[in-house]
A and B are shown apart, each in its own frame.
Chain A
Amino acid sequence: MSTYTQFVDGSQASFGGDEFIFVEVATDMDLEATLRVIALTDAVSSSEISGVTDICPAHVSYMVRVDPDIRDPREVLPILEEIHKRKAQESKLVIESRIIEMPILYQDPWSHDVLMRFRDRHQDPNASDLEYCARINGFASVDEFIGAHSSRLHIATFVAFMPGNAECYQLVPKDQQLEAPKYVRPRTDTPDRALGFGGAFSTIYPVQGAGGFQLLGRCAVPVYEAQQSFGPFEANAVLPKGGDIFQYRPIDMGEYEDIRQQVEAGTYKYRIGVLEFDLSKFREDPIGYPQTLAEVLP
């Protein structure tokens, strides 16, 4: 058996030791490939293949974890191949999704304190992360950059790294895609719930810890709750799922403190709407279509 197996749709599969199968659908970041990965892994999931313990979609690839004590992983590979064959004939790229509002205090004091402690690890030690991001993306002011970041939606294309973390790609025409490098050397500290931005991806840090994304602000509500004590966490300790769409709504300090109190009391209600995301509609109208999605928020 050779190391790599090529599927009819151009995907490449290989084994990650005796427990994992890795399937590379594409090598470049591309929203179409992401939606294909979601469609493929949904199909793997609904096939309920015995011995498969975990299905892990990424931006343009995915992994399946198999318990070899239950099922020989070599038997699972042809099943995946068959799913790829079936899905290659489907051209419609529509996924079940949710839209979730995340209240963000941009330029918050806590992230600012942390980022100032690590200026020696940053590309531009004399500017804040937001000033740097605004400048390299051609904005005259931080407020204009925040406007561009918050006025358009972001879709979770890779839920990974640690629980609650979701790398999100902004739903904008490609020429309007914001970009920023990660820190030259990663920080050893980041506040929990900090809003980070690196490459073309935004994420909310689930817990305090190391990190390399530019720090833009802080979210008032958690994306991970180990105790599973309230709201969406009662069913699942992590909030984001692959394909979820996020609206980052800028808030001021007064509202931030108000929401924090609701979260602490366990009374905060996440604003979540259920929808379908259709890639062809987004391509036809990358400005107007996401606005119709935002209207689904309750």
Chain B
Amino acid sequence: MITVVQPGLYTTVQDRGRFGFYGVGFPPSGSMDQYSSAVANILVGNNPDAAVLETTFLGPTLEFEQDANISVTGASADLTLDGISIPLWTSVSVKKGQVLAFGAAIAGVRNYLAFTGGINVKPMMGSRSTYVASHLGGYDGRVLKPGDRLEIFQDSKPKEVRICCEIPEDLRITPRAHQEIRIVSGLCHYLLDPQSQELLISKPFTISTEANRTGYRLKGDQLSFVERRQPFGAGSDPSNVVNLGYPVGSLQAPSGSELICLMRDAVTGGGYATLATVISVDLDILSQMKFPETVSFESVTLETALRLRSERAQRLRNITELVNSIA
């Protein structure tokens, strides 16, 4: 058991996410930065489906009532064990009675804390991910609170994990204050007028203070829509459509005045025109960004998006080999 002394700002149990229930209103949830979350699991010998803790800006303080192997990836932050600084992006052995404490994120937003065995919470609809809005999954369907006790799976034959196996710099994430975020055009992109189509991929947008697991609101130039007869049942604003499904990562611009990128806990549908979709590898990058950082959108083909996704998978395989070769 591991006791939550301080929960941090917004700490939840997450895994790869929930599949198969999008069509009845369940967003996938799951780790916002899937890459960092996967690396954390690999470092402690878990399979990629194991549940981890995701932190936001400030992680928790945890007291261990048992020995455990852990790893922390994601944002750069000061991490201490019994007050002594320990590194991120490496596996660490923790002894019973020790206290792990996170400092505030210095660059990036979210940290991923994995334990050998994974966090033992009841899977709900095939996933241990927390979806707070519907009180589903994770630890009681909510963010962690002081006094919560996390149970770790105890394998009968614990996997050998090499302690202090460090991930090389070039395989870590590097949060920056400005990023190119790649999108695939489609959905209702045809409803944007030609100047706004150009503006979307030529002008920077600033991440607002409303940027969380549900969505990232971005400020930039006003976008405008083509003039048309509004469809029956759509609503009167030119940005309105008859309610439709929203892909994770899709961009919308209610009234054209602000841009919203839907994240992993977003509503699964609604009545605003969807304009393009952030590719999955860049959702990892966007998830580590915050107010008042900026992004520029670059339009790419689906082929490019799929190639980048394969490269991410290859990097994770390389890391697995690296970790295994040392162990």
CB distance from B187 to the nearest CB of A (A): 5
Q: How far is the CA of A281 from the CA of B274 in the complex (A)?
A: 35
Given contacts A29-B232, A30-B232, contact A237 B136 (CB under 8 A): yes
Given contacts A15-B184, A18-B280, A57-B23, contact A206 B267 (CB under 8 A): no
Instruction: Choose among A15, A182, A242 the residue with the greatest number of B CB atoms under 10 Å from its CB.
Output: A15
Which residues does chain A contribute within 8 Å of B327, judged by CB atoms?
none
B25 touches A18 (CB 8 A): no
Given contacts A163-B136, A199-B235, contact A14 B186 (CB under 8 A): yes
B187 touches A162 (CB 8 A): no
User: Would you call A3 an interface residue if the criterion is a C-beta within 8 Å of the partner chain's C-beta atoms?
Assistant: yes
Q: Please give me the residue from chain A that is nearest to B27 by CB atom.
A: A162
User: Would you call A189 an interface residue if the criterion is a C-beta within 8 Å of the partner chain's C-beta atoms?
Assistant: no
Which residues does chain A contribute within 8 Å of B234, judged by CB atoms?
27-29
User: Would you call A129 an interface residue if the criterion is a C-beta within 8 Å of the partner chain's C-beta atoms?
Assistant: no
Q: How far is the CA of A57 from the CA of B23 in the complex (A)?
A: 7
Which residues does chain A contribute within 8 Å of B231, judged by CB atoms?
27-29
Which of A114-122, A138-146, A153-161, A252-260 is the contact stretch?
A153-161
Q: How far is the CA of A112 from the CA of B135 in the complex (A)?
A: 25
Given contacts A54-B23, A161-B270, A199-B233, contact A1 B302 (CB under 8 A): yes
Which residues does chain A contribute within 8 Å of B250, judged by CB atoms?
16-17, 20
CB distance from A13 to the nearest CB of B (A): 9
Which of A60-68, A82-90, A92-100, A267-275 is the contact stretch?
A60-68
Partner of A163, one of B26, B232, B278, B313: B26
Instruction: Choose among A53, A54, A199, A237 the residue with the greatest number of B CB atoms under 10 Å from its CB.
Output: A54
Q: How far is the CA of A68 from the CA of B34 in the complex (A)?
A: 15
A16 touches B280 (CB 8 A): no
Q: Which of A1-45 contact B (CB under 8 A)?
A: 1, 3-4, 14-20, 22, 24, 27-30, 41
Partner of B190, one of A4, A18, A19, A30: A4
Partner of B277, one of A17, A24, A41, A242: A17
Q: Please give me the residue from chain B that is nearest to A18 by CB atom.
A: B305
Partner of A14, one of B183, B187, B235, B306: B187
B267 touches A4 (CB 8 A): no
Given contacts A14-B186, A159-B25, A226-B124, contact A54 B19 (CB under 8 A): yes
Q: How far is the CA of A62 from the CA of B187 in the complex (A)?
A: 11
Partner of A165, one of B25, B125, B186: B25
Q: How far is the CA of A234 from the CA of B64 in the complex (A)?
A: 36
Which residues does chain B contribute within 8 Å of A182, judged by CB atoms?
235
Given contacts A29-B233, A54-B20, A158-B243, contact A69 B313 (CB under 8 A): yes
Q: Please give me the residue from chain B that is nearest to A242 by CB atom.
A: B23
Given contacts A62-B245, A161-B268, A161-B270, contact A28 B232 (CB under 8 A): yes
B306 touches A58 (CB 8 A): no
Which residues does chain A contribute within 8 Å of B19, judged by CB atoms?
53-54, 65, 67
CB distance from B89 to the nearest CB of A (A): 24
Which residues does chain B contribute within 8 Å of A55, judged by CB atoms?
23
Q: Please give me the residue from chain A that is nearest to B135 by CB atom.
A: A226
User: Would you call B309 an interface residue if the criterion is a C-beta within 8 Å of the partner chain's C-beta atoms?
Assistant: yes
User: Would you call A56 an interface residue if the criterion is a C-beta within 8 Å of the partner chain's C-beta atoms?
Assistant: yes
Q: How far is the CA of A24 from the CA of B20 in the complex (A)?
A: 21
The bracket for how many chain B residues form the interface is 35 or more
Q: How far is the CA of A1 from the CA of B309 in the complex (A)?
A: 19
User: Would you call A209 an interface residue if the criterion is a C-beta within 8 Å of the partner chain's C-beta atoms?
Assistant: yes
> Beta-carbon contacts of B137-163 to A below 8 Å, as 1s and 0s?
000010000000000000000000000
Partner of A16, one of B20, B21, B134, B186: B186
User: Would you call B133 an interface residue if the criterion is a C-beta within 8 Å of the partner chain's C-beta atoms?
Assistant: yes
CB distance from A163 to the nearest CB of B (A): 4
Given contacts A3-B186, A159-B24, A162-B25, contact A60 B242 (CB under 8 A): yes
B277 touches A16 (CB 8 A): yes
Partner of A164, one of B25, B141, B249, B303: B25
A18 touches B269 (CB 8 A): no
Q: How far is the CA of A219 from the CA of B185 in the complex (A)?
A: 41
B242 touches A16 (CB 8 A): no
Q: How far is the CA of A159 from the CA of B141 in the complex (A)?
A: 22
Which residues does chain B contribute within 8 Å of A209, judged by CB atoms?
133
> Beta-carbon contacts of A157-175 to B below 8 Å, as 1s and 0s?
0111111110100000000
CB distance from B252 to the nearest CB of A (A): 12
Q: How far is the CA of A164 from the CA of B134 in the complex (A)?
A: 9
B233 touches A19 (CB 8 A): no
Which residues does chain A contribute within 8 Å of B125, judged by CB atoms?
237
Which residues does chain B contribute within 8 Å of A161, judged by CB atoms?
25, 267-270
User: Would you call A49 an interface residue if the criterion is a C-beta within 8 Å of the partner chain's C-beta atoms?
Assistant: no
Given contacts A1-B302, A4-B190, A69-B313, contact A18 B184 (CB under 8 A): yes
Q: Which of B225-257 contact A (CB under 8 A)?
A: 231-235, 241-245, 247-250
Given contacts A68-B306, A158-B269, A160-B269, contact A4 B233 (CB under 8 A): no
CB distance from A33 to the nearest CB of B (A): 9
B23 touches A56 (CB 8 A): yes
Q: Which of B183-205 contact A (CB under 8 A)?
A: 183-190
Which residues does chain A contribute within 8 Å of B244, judged by CB atoms?
22, 24, 58-61, 63
Chain B residues with a Cβ under 8 A of chain A: 19-26, 124-125, 133-136, 141, 183-190, 231-235, 241-245, 247-250, 267-270, 274, 277-280, 301-303, 305-306, 309, 313
Would you mind naming 5 contact pairs between A and B with Cβ atoms under 8 Å apart? A14-B187, A16-B250, A17-B250, A162-B25, A162-B268
